[in-house]
Amino acid sequence: MKIEETSGPQPTRRRLAEVILGGGLVASIVSFVYPVLRYLVPPALPDLGGDEVVAGKVGELKPNSFKIFRFGSKPGILVLTADGEYRALSATCSHLSCTVQYRTDLHQVWCACHNGLYDLTGRNVSGPPPRPLDPYQVHVRGEEIVVSRKREA
Amino acid sequence: MSVPLSIRNWLDERFGWEKLTEPLRHKTVPQHRFSVWYFLGGMTLFLFGIQVITGALLLLYYRPSANEAFESVQYIMTRVQFGWLIRSIHSWSANLMIFTAFCHMFSVAFLKAYRKPRELTWVSGMILLFLILGFGFSGYLLPWNTLAFFATKVGTQIAGQVPFVGMKVMIFLRGGEEVTGATLTRFFGFHIAVLPGITTFLLLMHIALVQKFGMSAPPKVEEEWKEHPEKKKEMRFFPNFLLRELMAWYVALGLLGALAALSPWGLGTKADPFGAAPAGIKPEWYFLFMFQTLKLIPAKLWFMDGEVLGIMTFNLAGLLWILLPFFDKEGNGRRQRMALGVTIFALAFIVAMTIYGYLAK
Amino acid sequence: MSVGLFVAVCVFTGRAGADTPNSCLDCHSGLDAPLKVTAEQFAQDIHSQKGLTCVSCHGGDPTKDDPDAMSKSAGFRTFTRKDIPALCGKCHSDAAFMRKYNPSLRTDQYSQYQTSVHGKLLAKGDTKVAVCIDCHSVHDLRSPKDTRSTVHPLNVPKTCSRCHADAEYMKGHKIPTDQFAGYTDSVHYKALTVRGDLSAPTCVTCHGNHGAAPPGVDTVQNVCATCHVFQAQLFEASAHKEAFKAASLGGCITCHSNHRIKHPDDELLGTGDKSVCTNCHSSGDPGFKAAGDMHAQLARLDTQVKSVEELLNRAEDSGMEVSEAHTAQDQARDALTKARVTIHSLQAPKVAQDIDAGMKIGEKAQEAGRAALAERDYRRKGLGLSLIAILIMVVGLGLYIRQIERD
């Protein structure tokens, strides 16, 4: 059963209301749908998660050298030892939070602020640091050096 | 033929649209000096819809594990296009929805719309309110920040104080003895599956009951209309009331957008389970009145532990409140005045303790 | 502490519950200071816990009463303050003996003491100086690892100050008595007491404990170098090393003070009124110019760090997330810290290098902050547009409702 529409010309007032309504409807729907559509597109930089980060590329470091990389909002230190092994540690000194570095002469991690010394497993060896540096796991994935940390559940 | 009309015809030929929507077209809404309160139910429903949509969108990027939850929310807030908008709307709308749900409940209580034959509408509504609070509590933990972690710790610990079953309930909620990543996973499951499932079912029942019995008018207005039937005014639900509701919903959308852009929901700092609780930790405002009351109760009352007594009193009060329609059935006698008195007291208590909780250190 | 020959008649009050007879404690627990020693007190003493008793140091016979307990025939020994180091040294310098109790304990305390100022003055007959029991306490002597020990790092400054801050007591010794007052005002003391940082230097860290003596004037920087390596190295290579030596000025302490070492302000450097450079340098000499240059360099980066900080705070207050920019800011601050160390080289170009590196990083953070504020403005514009759309919609609805209800 088809429904018949009401006959007769639409009064101008009503037309105006319908136009404004229609216009408002379209404009508001666009202003809601546009952000959602943009949201659905994944950003260029994928979220690898808080657990791991690409610290560098193979070949970037010479043996017995280091680089500082970002892990979340804190610095990390990646060392390539003279024997060709990668080690990664948290780079925030446990004494007063200065950023540590790798001493190529001592083959150990060192803090310039107050002469604190750590070995390559992160253990605080001498000087003021009261606690070791957190160690991270390093895996080489193709050309990328991936540093990850295990956290308890 | 106009576009809306041809769509209607198309739907009717395939769904029997006209027959389905027949009762809706006869639905009316009473018009009286308290009619403005009728908007609250629909508003709560609308905000729930907003939560479902923004929640589904957040699900595309959120990761429910202790290691990644905080970072994923940070990712949404900083990297995802308009992620900040979706997330802030979700958080603000949650609070707004809880507020409108409470207002809706109290307006129904004051207008005595819970009376026979609408008792089950009230009961289902009360359960829905508890479910909404459950949504709030479970959702709050999901960003895994310091405030949320400790609020959950305190909240579940209070639940654990209930005699006999308390510890079992606490372990069930926490997924273990302490608040850990297991708690996060569990709360996530509650928040996106268990609670929505139960809520959908109860919501359908609640709305079906409202459709069945129609909108109630307050007792005094009913009396007036009985004596002077010509004074009775009603508005058609469709399209008149619905268009007005639409206006209110648009205003709510504008408000949510403004809140998201001008006062975005914060991220906080990542939870550290071994860290110390921040000083002066408080739950979200909708739990504040209970929290503050428990703080005021002395440690021991007669032989009972003060906190346990407080929790049991709240539980009992909640239960009695659900049973209100079976106490205040009809008429205008002493019971009815008592019910009104209790309602006024409940509202005043909640408001006063919430304000107190805000101001207290 | 001199133990006089005190013939006292001790009244035996019941030895209820005493396992081994100890007439020493029975009497001495009832006496007044300085002779008072109680069983509870002595139970705290590490010597008592290792099985030593009054007899081990004092001799005598604890099974007898006075006067037999303290008779020469019972082996009772008297000693003066001058005898104490040698008395303690009798066991503590005997490696074979100490191995029986604690093999890892050092046994050079006595020989170190003899090289110290205290030891040298004692040998000359000055009994006012510290001997073992003044610092370590006696009869309730605890291991230095015990936080209640008078020689635990947290308590060392107070222990030394008992004499060294007492102007009356120190009269005649011709050294100042303001060290403790200065030290308690210092950054090292704050690290020790407020942060509980046990690696922070106390008196003995710089002066030695048993071999206590002030460090040599031209070797002060070696002491500071145990922690402040870079600063000391740069100083050693700088023009100041020979200049200070020639003027008999101590290395680090000339600018930083010895005890009242406060956290240095950038104003300590340069040509302003708070600067220490102007103590020696005046307008026209190259040192004056270098001081001014280096100060200006530090001020450059410091200003930038502060303005970027303010920018980022503004962004955060309006709800923008700028944690990455904050991380970059940390690196800029690290560069500033490095520059503040490099000034010890006294070479403005070297300082400028560190500053420039920091400025580059700071600029990145500034960019991020500006981008955050731009994003905020973009959001507000977007909000405005959507609110207009909503307003049109609401007005449209209102008009439409009015129209359909008119009919």
Q: Is residue C234 part of a domain?
A: no
Question: What is the arithmetic mean of pLDDT over C30-39?
Answer: 88
Average pLDDT, chain B: 91
Give the pLDDT score at B361. 67
Q: Which domain holds residue B184?
A: 29-214+236-359
B335-345 pLDDT, tens per residue?
888 899 999 99
Residues A36, A57, single domain; the answer is no
In angstroms, what separates the C-alpha of C338 from chain B's closest C-alpha? 29
Residues A132, A111, single domain; the answer is yes
- Total structural domains in chain A? 2
Q: Is residue A37 part of a domain?
A: yes
Mutate to test the interface with B, among A7, A45, A47 (most CBs of B within 10 A): A47
Residues C102, C41, single domain; the answer is no
Write out the two tokens for B78. Answer: 């900083």
**How many Å apart are CA B240 and CA B153, to the nearest integer?**
48
C276-312 pLDDT, tens per residue?
999 999 888 899 999 999 999 999 999 999 999 999 9
Question: What is the arithmetic mean of pLDDT over B174-185?
Answer: 93
Q: Tell me the pTM.
A: 0.73
CATH number of the CATH domain containing A107:
2.102.10.10
Q: What are phi and psi of A145, to 5 degrees?
A: -100, 110
> For residue B206, what are the contacts with CB-CB under 8 A and spacing of at least 6?
B121, B124, B125, B128
Residues C185, C70, single domain; the answer is no
Residues A94, A124, single domain; the answer is yes
Q: Which domain holds residue C17?
A: 1-78
Residues C356, C336, single domain; the answer is yes
CATH number of the CATH domain containing C332:
1.20.140
Residues C58, C88, single domain; the answer is no
Q: Which domain holds residue A136?
A: 52-148
Residue indicated by tokens 């796991």: A137
Which residues of chain A lie closer than 8 angstroms to B75, CB-CB?
47
Residues A58, A119, single domain; the answer is yes
A39-83 pLDDT, tens per residue?
999 887 666 666 788 888 998 999 999 999 888 778 899 999 999
Amino acid at residue number C273 = D
Give the pLDDT score at B273. 83
pLDDT at B275 > cutoff 90: no
Q: Which residue among C78, C108, C128 closes a domain?
A: C78
Residue indicated by tokens 């004051």: B110
A95 to C199: CB separation less than 8 angstroms, yes or no: yes
Give the pLDDT score at B277. 83
Of B72, B75, B250, the CB nearest to A28: B250
Q: Is residue C322 part of a domain?
A: yes
Q: Is residue B14 part of a domain?
A: no
Q: Is residue B11 part of a domain?
A: no
**C109, C93 Cβ separation under 8 angstroms:** yes
Ramachandran bin of B30, using left for φ above 0, alpha for ψ from -120 to 50, beta for the remaining angles: beta
pLDDT at B280 > cutoff 90: no
Residues C8, C125, single domain; the answer is no
**How many Å apart are CA B234 and CA B31, to the nearest integer?**
5
Q: Which residues in chain A show pLDDT less than 70? A: 1-11, 45-50, 151-153
C390 to B253: CB separation less than 8 angstroms, yes or no: yes
**C399, A17 Cβ separation under 8 angstroms:** yes
Residues A23, A87, single domain; the answer is no
C217-274 pLDDT, tens per residue?
878 888 898 889 889 999 999 999 999 989 988 889 999 998 999 999 899 998 888 8
**C82, C133 Cβ separation under 8 angstroms:** no
Give the pLDDT score at A62. 92
**How many Å apart are CA A91 and CA A75, to the nearest integer?**
5
Give the pLDDT score at C91. 93
In angstroms, what separates the C-alpha of A113 from chain B's closest C-alpha? 26
Which residues of chain B lie closer than 8 angstroms to C383, CB-CB?
257-258, 261-262
Residues A27, A91, single domain; the answer is no
Of A11, A14, A31, the CB nearest to C385: A31
Question: What is the arithmetic mean of pLDDT over B201-213?
Answer: 94
pLDDT at B142 > cutoff 80: yes
Give the pLDDT score at C8. 40
Give the pLDDT score at B73. 93
- Total structural domains in chain B? 1
CATH number of the CATH domain containing B134:
1.20.810.10
Q: Is residue B299 part of a domain?
A: yes
Strands B304-305 and B300-301: antiparallel
- Total structural domains in chain C? 3
B3-7, B114-118, B326-330, C182-186: range with highest mean pLDDT:
C182-186
Binding partners of B (≥3 Cβ pairs within 8 A): A, C
Residues A64, A137, single domain; the answer is yes
Residues A61, A84, single domain; the answer is yes
Give the pLDDT score at C319. 74
Query: Does A47 reach chain B within 8 Å, measured CB to CB?
Result: yes
Residues C112, C203, single domain; the answer is yes
Q: Is residue C222 part of a domain?
A: no
B74-106 pLDDT, tens per residue?
889 888 989 999 999 999 999 999 999 999 999
Counting residues of chain B whose pLDDT is more than 90, the rounded percentage is 60
Residues A34, A88, single domain; the answer is no
Of C227, C324, C389, the CB nearest to A24: C389
Q: Which residue among C78, C103, C133 closes a domain?
A: C78
Residues in A whose CB is inside 8 Å of some CB of C read 11, 13-14, 16-18, 20-25, 27-28, 30-32, 35, 70, 73-75, 95, 98-99, 112-115, 127-130
**How many Å apart are CA B139 and CA B130, to the nearest integer?**
14
pLDDT at B249 > cutoff 80: yes
- Smallest CA–CA distance from C228 into chain A, residue: A114
**How many Å apart are CA C346 and CA C395, to the nearest integer?**
72
Query: Does A37 reach chain B within 8 Å, measured CB to CB?
Result: no
pLDDT category of residue C105 using cuts at 50, 70 and 90: very high
Beta-strand (E) ranges in A82-152? Answer: 86-90, 101-103, 108-111, 116-118, 124-126, 135-141, 144-148
**How many Å apart are CA B54 and CA A39, to the nearest integer?**
11
Q: Is residue A70 part of a domain?
A: yes
B290-322 pLDDT, tens per residue?
999 998 888 888 888 888 899 999 999 999 999
Of A2, A41, A51, the CB nearest to B68: A51
C35-74 pLDDT, tens per residue?
899 989 999 999 999 999 888 888 888 888 877 788 888 8
- DSSP label at A123? -
Q: Is residue A47 part of a domain?
A: no
A73 to C326: CB separation less than 8 angstroms, yes or no: yes
Q: For the purposes of burial, counting CB atoms within 10 Å of the CB of C188, is it exposed (0-12), middle (13-18) or buried (19 or more)?
A: buried
Residues A132, A76, single domain; the answer is yes
Count interface pairs B-C at CB distance under 8 A: 52
Which residues of chain B lie closer than 8 angstroms to A1, CB-CB?
12, 18
Q: Is residue C269 part of a domain?
A: no
Q: Which residue among C78, C105, C120 closes a domain?
A: C78
Q: Is residue A24 part of a domain?
A: yes
Query: Does A142 reach chain B within 8 Å, measured CB to CB?
Result: no
Query: Does B106 reach chain A within 8 Å, measured CB to CB?
Result: no
SS3 call for A5: coil
Q: Is residue B222 part of a domain?
A: no
Of C321, C387, C391, the CB nearest to B74: C321
Mutate to test the interface with B, among A4, A39, A51 (most CBs of B within 10 A): A39
Q: Is residue C265 part of a domain?
A: no
Residues A28, A77, single domain; the answer is no
Which residues of chain C lie closer than 8 angstroms to A115, CB-CB?
225-229
Which residues of chain A lie closer than 8 angstroms to B61, CB-CB?
47
pLDDT category of residue C405 using cuts at 50, 70 and 90: confident
Of A13, A28, A98, the CB nearest to C389: A28
